[in-house]
């Protein structure tokens, strides 16, 4: 009996590990110390290091509560649980509408398919909109949200001692009381509402939609209704849903969103398409056709001059939709970048090196790069960041070198949460961005003379402020870090939420430039290493991204959305007007310049980021790139103030279960009807969950099932 029990437990742990490894952040975190506090409508739960984000989130979500609930004329019946996490270098949010909880990761979103806005306000409004409009359309109630029709069939028995053969038919069909396509769910969450709107049709979203329209690749209405595509396809469901919902609001007013959800909340509404037709008086297919025609007319008209005078250089990589962060080696002979060529997701990338003289491309055995990259001044090393699991199974960004000469990878850190590294002109230091609880800091890693030496330094970062500490972690509010460095220096740490993007050195080594933002749009900032001061170098309402100096320091190259379309520009380092270098209908990003003045960049074209090359670009006539003269004025101005954050009375977290759900089931088993049910419940942090089921027929042949999961420790117990 003891042996059988041990075997059962061993298999349980093994299976749990295999299953959980397939899901993001499904690892247990017993090292976290959770706390809770209450606001008028929410109970907020957070762990050490996320207190600032939790307090700010509580303020924000209470501010948006009246606007979102008024838009849909619906208030959730139960108190909603808001959970803040910062266990991973991961940016997302989720609305678990049946469980009455919202989860938010504190890391700010920096995604090559989206523009810049205030992350916390945007994601909270997005997820709370999900919570409200989806709970409103539940046709039954939160206790009985859905059920199942199930049928088991069996092989014909072959022996007298076998009561029933092995199951050969297993059918389980869910009957849901929720009926909402992806395009409407995500479209309304991005549209938000007139009184609480922190998202907008940024130039990235417009680029993706415009490109699909001009290349006749717009998703159909059915394709917009589901996920399960590539990264690009899934993002297009979000994007087109946002644009289509905006179209509905333009045609019928914002009240149409509440009307649609109200109609769909009744059992008499069999299809969501029918609810839209009843609310608008027009079939959804007809609305889609009108919207598609409107888009084609608009984008064809606005890009007519650009298409007649397009200037983008030569595409050197057309395959894959994520060819990103190109960088010339110091001699200008090679270009390195990351590419997902032949793969379905942005994260499935590889490092590529293009030999310009031979025309060959070499794929390096490095995958999952999560940042921009840079060459060392001697051309021997590439530096980049990619994610790995730490001892708590958190997925964090760490720095690595690729030794081009010896063709091997050298790890520079453990637990650093560092990204977007850049070599100093003398090759002795690497500038990089560190992150914690949504806060950014600019740091320097001084390399040892031999990067492969075992010169490891043990330091810590304060998980609340992101400040570097010159000693090992001493409390749970500090994060242990190991770096292969002679010295680790923190240059700049923002505690107001200002973000730092893709730092690059000025060739004289005296300044570091980078993209920076704290609200809508991006500016170009700089840090002066001699004075130790930060300042804004270039400021505009639009997006200014990816600044990089020419090797001689004479020019600053960057990408700007000033016309409504991203193009490459350059300005003289000592001042002067900006010169337009590209004229594209998609977008031009991430320039890199060699000592001959040649430029490589990421060109968004034909459903994805390609790699383009220009030999000594010259200034173009800016009038030929006109697209939307009023674009800068369309960028929202800051419409919030989060400078003052209230304090809340907190308490240690106590296990709190969500509403118990009863899921009816109609079970057809060996020709008999077995009505029954499932019961499910879990605590809000998913540390404990329970599922039980029962079914019986008129002969009192019954089935019983129960399953419990305990996840407060490192292993999961069942």
Q: For residue range 335-360, what is the model confidence (pLDDT) as tens digits?
A: 999 999 999 999 899 999 999 989 99
| Class of residue 308 by CB neighbours under 10 A (exposed 0-12, middle 13-18, buried 19+) | exposed
pLDDT digit string, tens, across residues 519-570: 899 999 999 999 999 999 999 999 999 999 999 999 999 999 999 999 999 9
Q: In terms of DSSP bridges, do strands 146-154 and 167-176 run parallel, antiparallel, or are they unpaired?
A: antiparallel
Number of neighbouring beta carbons within 10 Å of residue 409 = 16
Q: pLDDT tens across 430-454, in order?
A: 999 999 999 999 999 999 999 988 8
Place of tokens 């070599």: 423
pLDDT of 478 > 50? The answer is yes
Between 165-179, 613-627, 647-661, the lowest mean confidence (pLDDT) is in 165-179
Residue ranges with strand state E in 166-256: 167-176
CA distances to 96, 103, 139 from 80, rounded to whole Å, are 10, 11, 20
CA dist., res. 472 & res. 478, Å (int): 8
Where helices occur in 303-446 by DSSP H, the ranges are 304-308
> In Å, how far from its chain's centre is CA 532?
32
The two structure tokens encoding residue 254 = 């914002």
What is the distance between the alpha carbons of residues 128 and 69, in angstroms, rounded to a whole number?
Answer: 9
pLDDT tens digits for range 670-715:
889 999 999 999 999 999 999 999 999 999 999 998 999 999 999 9
Contact 376, 426 (CB under 8 A): no
Task: Supply 353's token pair.
Answer: 């090196």
Which range has the worst mean pLDDT, 19-23, 189-193, 226-230, 289-293? Answer: 19-23
Q: What is the pLDDT of residue 164?
A: 77
Contact 303, 214 (CB under 8 A): yes
Q: How confident is the model at residue 26 (pLDDT cuts 50, 70, 90)?
A: confident
Tokens representing residue 503 in the block: 């730092």
**Are 57 and 120 within 8 A, CB to CB?**
yes
Q: pLDDT-based confidence at 9, cuts 50/70/90?
A: very low
Q: For residues 101 and 44, what is the distance between their CA atoms, to the nearest angstrom?
A: 10
Q: What is the pLDDT of residue 166?
A: 81
Rounded to the nearest 10°, the torsion over CA 355, 361, 366, 369 is: 80
b/e burial code for range 576-600 (CB count within 10 A of at least 16 → b): eebbbbbbbbbbbbbbbbbeebbbb
Q: Tokens 């490459």 sit at which residue?
A: 568
Task: Answer whether 441's CB lies under 8 Å from 456's CB.
Answer: no
Percent of the chain with pLDDT over 90: 86
DSSP code for 658: P
Which residues have C-beta within 8 Å of that of residue 626, sequence separation ≥ 6?
305, 306, 563
Q: In what order do the strands lie in the sheet with 408-411?
A: 374-375, 381-389, 395-403, 408-411
| C-alpha torsion sign, points 661, 663, 664, 670 | negative
25 pLDDT band (50/70/90 cuts)?
A: low
- From the CB of residue 211, how many other CB atoms can be counted at a distance below 10 Å? 22
Torsion of CA 627, 631, 632, 633, to 10 degrees: 150
User: Is 46's pLDDT higher than 50?
Assistant: yes
CA atoms in the 13 A half-sphere facing the CB of 237: 18
DSSP-assigned beta bridge partners for residue 44: 37, 82
Give residue for tokens 């298409």: 307
Among 533, 528, 522, 597, residue whose Cα is nearest residue 566: 522
For residue 12, the SS3 value is helix
Longest pairwise C-alpha distance within the chain? 94
* Whether pLDDT at 14 is above 80: no
Torsion of CA 395, 401, 405, 407, to 10 degrees: -10
pLDDT digits (tens, 9 = 90+) for 187-213: 999 999 999 999 999 999 999 999 999
Tell me the HSE value of 646 on the side-chain side, using a 13 A CA sphere: 13
21 against 204, higher pLDDT? 204
Strand 360-367, strand 350-355: pairing: antiparallel
User: What average pLDDT is seen over the chain?
Assistant: 93
SS (H, E, C) 452-493: CCCCEEEEEEECCCCCEECCCCCCCCEEEEEEECCEEEEEEE
What average pLDDT score do residues 210-235 get?
Answer: 93
Q: Please spell the DSSP secondary structure of 106-166, one letter per residue.
A: -SPP--TTS----HHHHHHHHHHHHHHHHHHH-SS-SSS-EEEEEEEEEPPP-STT-SS--
- List, in order of start, the domains of the chain with CATH numbers: 307-626 (2.120.10.30)
**Per-residue model confidence (pLDDT) at position 163:** 73
pTM over 0.85: yes
């Amino acid at each position: 009996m003891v042996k059988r029990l041990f075997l059962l437990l061993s298999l349980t742990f093994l299976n749990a590990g295999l299953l959980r490894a397939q899901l993001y952040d499904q690892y247990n975190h017993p090292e976290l110390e959770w706390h809770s506090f209450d606001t008028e409508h929410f109970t907020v739960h957070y762990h050490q290091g996320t207190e600032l984000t939790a307090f700010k989130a509580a303020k924000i979500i209470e501010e948006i509560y009246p606007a979102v609930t008024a838009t849909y004329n619906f208030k959730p019946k139960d108190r909603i649980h808001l959970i803040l996490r910062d266990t991973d270098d991961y940016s997302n949010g989720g609305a678990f509408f049946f469980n009455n909880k919202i989860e938010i990761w504190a890391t700010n979103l920096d995604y090559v398919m989206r523009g810049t806005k205030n992350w916390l306000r945007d994601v909270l409004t997005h997820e709370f909109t999900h919570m409200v409009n989806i709970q409103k359309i539940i046709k039954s109630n939160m206790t009985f949200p859905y059920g199942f029709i199930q049928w088991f069939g069996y092989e014909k028995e072959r022996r007298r001692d076998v009561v029933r053969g092995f199951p050969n038919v297993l059918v389980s069909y869910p009957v849901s009381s929720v009926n909402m396509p992806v395009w409407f769910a995500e479209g309304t969450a991005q549209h938000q509402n007139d009184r609480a709107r922190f998202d907008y049709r940024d130039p990235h979203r417009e680029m993706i939609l415009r490109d699909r329209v001009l290349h006749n690749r717009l998703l159909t209405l059915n394709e917009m209704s589901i996920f399960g595509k590539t990264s690009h396809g899934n993002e297009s469901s979000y994007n087109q849903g946002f644009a289509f919902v905006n179209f509905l609001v333009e045609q019928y007013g914002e009240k149409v969103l509440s009307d649609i959800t109200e109609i769909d909340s009744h059992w008499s509404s069999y299809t969501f398409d029918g609810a839209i037709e009843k609310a608008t008086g027009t079939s959804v297919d007809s609305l889609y056709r009108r919207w598609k025609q409107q888009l084609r007319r608009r984008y064809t008209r606005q890009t007519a001059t650009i298409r007649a005078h397009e200037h983008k250089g030569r595409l050197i990589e057309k395959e894959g939709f994520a060819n990103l962060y190109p960088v010339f080696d110091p001699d200008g002979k090679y270009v390195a970048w990351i590419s997902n060529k032949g793969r379905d997701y942005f994260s499935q990338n590889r490092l590529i090196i293009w030999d310009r003289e031979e025309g060959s491309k070499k794929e390096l055995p490095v995958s999952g790069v999560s940042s921009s990259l840079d060459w060392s001044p001697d051309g021997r090393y590439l530096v980049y960041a990619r994610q790995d699991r730490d001892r708590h199974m958190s997925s964090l960004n760490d720095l690595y070198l690729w030794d081009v000469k010896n063709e091997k990878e050298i790890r520079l850190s453990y637990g650093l949460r560092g990204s977007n590294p850049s070599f100093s002109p003398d090759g002795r230091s690497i500038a990089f961005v560190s992150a914690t609880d949504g806060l950014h800091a600019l740091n320097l890693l001084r390399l040892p003379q031999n990067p492969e030496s075992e010169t490891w330094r043990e330091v810590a970062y304060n998980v609340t402020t992101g400040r570097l500490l010159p000693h090992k972690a001493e409390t749970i509010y500090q994060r242990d870090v190991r770096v292969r460095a002679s010295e680790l220096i923190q240059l700049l740490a923002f505690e107001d939420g200002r973000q730092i993007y893709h730092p690059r050195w000025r060739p004289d080594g005296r300044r570091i430039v980078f993209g920076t933002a704290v609200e809508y749009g991006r500016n170009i900032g700089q840090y002066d290493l001699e004075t130790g001061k930060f300042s804004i170098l270039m400021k505009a309402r639009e997006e200014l991204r990816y600044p990089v100096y020419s090797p001689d320091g004479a020019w600053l190259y960057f990408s700007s959305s000033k016309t409504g379309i991203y193009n490459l520009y350059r300005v003289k380092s000592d001042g002067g007007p900006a010169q337009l270098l590209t004229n594209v209908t998609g977008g031009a990003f991430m320039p890199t310049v060699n000592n001959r003045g040649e430029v490589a960049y990421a060109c968004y074209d034909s459903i994805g980021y390609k790699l383009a090359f220009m030999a000594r670009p010259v200034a173009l006539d800016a009038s030929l790139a006109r697209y939307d003269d009023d674009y800068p004025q369309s960028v929202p101005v800051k419409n919030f103030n989060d400078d003052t954050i209230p304090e809340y009375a907190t308490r240690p977290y106590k296990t709190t279960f969500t509403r118990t759900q009863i899921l009816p089931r109609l079970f057809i088993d060996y020709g008999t009807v077995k009505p029954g049910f499932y019961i499910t419940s879990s605590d809000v942090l998913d540390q404990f969950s329970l599922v039980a089921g029962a079914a019986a027929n008129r002969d009192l042949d019954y089935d019983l099932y129960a399953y419990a999961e305990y996840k407060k420790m490192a292993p999961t117990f069942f």
